[in-house]
Amino acid sequence: MVAVTAVPFAITIGLAFTNYDLVRSADWRFVGLDNFARLLADRQTPQIIFNTAYLVIATTALETILGLGLAVLMASAIRGIGLIRTAYLLPIMTAPIVVALTWRAMFNNDAGWINYGLSLLGLPEPTWLGEAALAMPVVIIADMWTGVSFMAVLLLAGLLALPVEHAEAAEVDGASSWQAFRNVTLPALQPVLFVAIILRFMDAFRKFEGISVLTSGGPGIASTPLNLHIYNTGLFYHQIGFAAAYGVVMIVMIAASVGLIYLWLGRSR
């Protein structure tokens, strides 16, 4: 079992030190750190790294905050909680390609529902998929459809598993409901919060359909993060060695961010 994951993993890291190219696959050799030197010199690299950080941080932060808010509201709702929870499960289970295609149609400039809705309200209608500054927000909004649902459902389950007496006791003792939430409920929710954030982070790093189909990573490379860039470099332009070097950068970024989240939320477990 280790073989099916460990061997490809090791090979990718190894390939990062070669000049392997699909077009000239017969004559490849080790080139040391050449790929990494080229990567550092590449004018696209800073933008790609920035896009990755933008995507991962924005989606996780927004989805955690909104999901937590919804989970708290759902936990205190009396009626319809089962139905609401089921509704929030559906986006999580919908194929990402369907999500991407649907949002692509909804964000369409002329025939899309979003600009139509904005026009009815008398608001400006931006060319969502054509402007560099808007491409990433479009990706993030579409991601939130799945991500907020995911967070809400998971954190709701976490909230419902907590004993309510503790927060109630704090309120009886004179704490406001915000204080009770901040100082009693939230710390108790920390283990579930930690896992949910880690899982969402992983999903953001590996996000593919929601970018390649929704914005094609553009305009230009305005919405291309590492995952799509590795795909483009390696499997579209056939530069396997160079793509693998970006892969190593991605592994380092993931390891560093998981480490940071662990230090922040995971320690007291």
Partner 1 sequence: MSRRHRRRRLLSAVILLLGLVFIFVPYLWIFLTALKRPVDAAAVPPMIFSPITTKNFEALVEGPFAGSLVASAIITILTTGATLLFGVPAGYAFARGKFRGRRFFTGWLLLSRMVPPVIFIIPLFLFFHRLKLVDTYQGLTLAYLTGLLPFTVWMCASYFQDIPIELEEAARIDGAGRTRTFLDVVLPLARPGILTVGLLIAIAAWSEYFIPLILAGINTTPATVGLVNFIGIDTLNWGALAAGALALVVPTFIVTLLAQRGMLRGLSAGAVKG
> Which residues in 58-97 contact partner 1 (CB under 8 A)?
69-70, 73-74, 76-77, 84-97
Angle between helices 240-261 and 2-15 in degrees, nearest 10: 120
Residue 54 CB, nearest approach to partner 1 (Å) = 17
Structure tokens at 246: 């970006």
Alpha helices in the chain (DSSP H): 2-15, 34-41, 45-76, 81-93, 96-106, 113-120, 132-160, 164-172, 177-180, 186-206, 209-212, 226-231, 240-261
- List the one residue from 138, 140, 249, 250 that touches partner 1 (CB under 8 A): 250
- 């094609």: which residue's tokens? 216
What is the rounded distance in angstroms from the CA atom of residue 233 to the CA atom of residue 68? Answer: 38
What is the rounded distance in angstroms from the CA atom of residue 127 to the CA atom of residue 129? Answer: 6
Residue (158 or 217) nearer to partner 1, CB: 158
When asked if residue 253 is in the footprint of partner 1 (CB under 8 A), the reply is: no
- List the one residue from 56, 134, 196, 211 that touches partner 1 (CB under 8 A): 196
When asked if residue 261 is in the footprint of partner 1 (CB under 8 A), the reply is: no
- List the one residue from 49, 251, 261, 265 that touches partner 1 (CB under 8 A): 251
Restricted to residues 159-178, the positions that interact with partner 1 (CB under 8 A) are 161
- List the one residue from 4, 26, 121, 133 that touches partner 1 (CB under 8 A): 4
- List the one residue from 64, 234, 242, 245 that touches partner 1 (CB under 8 A): 234
**Cβ proximity of 243 and 256 under 8 Å:** no
**Cβ proximity of 244 and 12 under 8 Å:** yes
**Cβ proximity of 224 and 51 under 8 Å:** yes
When asked if residue 215 is in the footprint of partner 1 (CB under 8 A), the reply is: no
User: What is the pattern of x (binds partner 1, CB under 8 A) and - over residues 121-150?
Assistant: ------------------------x--xxx
User: What is the pattern of x (binds partner 1, CB under 8 A) and - over residues 23-62?
Assistant: ----------------------------------------
Task: Tell me, by CB under 8 A, how many residues bind partner 1.
Answer: 80
When asked if residue 200 is in the footprint of partner 1 (CB under 8 A), the reply is: no
When asked if residue 158 is in the footprint of partner 1 (CB under 8 A), the reply is: yes
Distances (CA, A) of 154 to 48, 59, 85, 147, 149: 31, 16, 10, 11, 8
**Cβ proximity of 136 and 222 under 8 Å:** yes
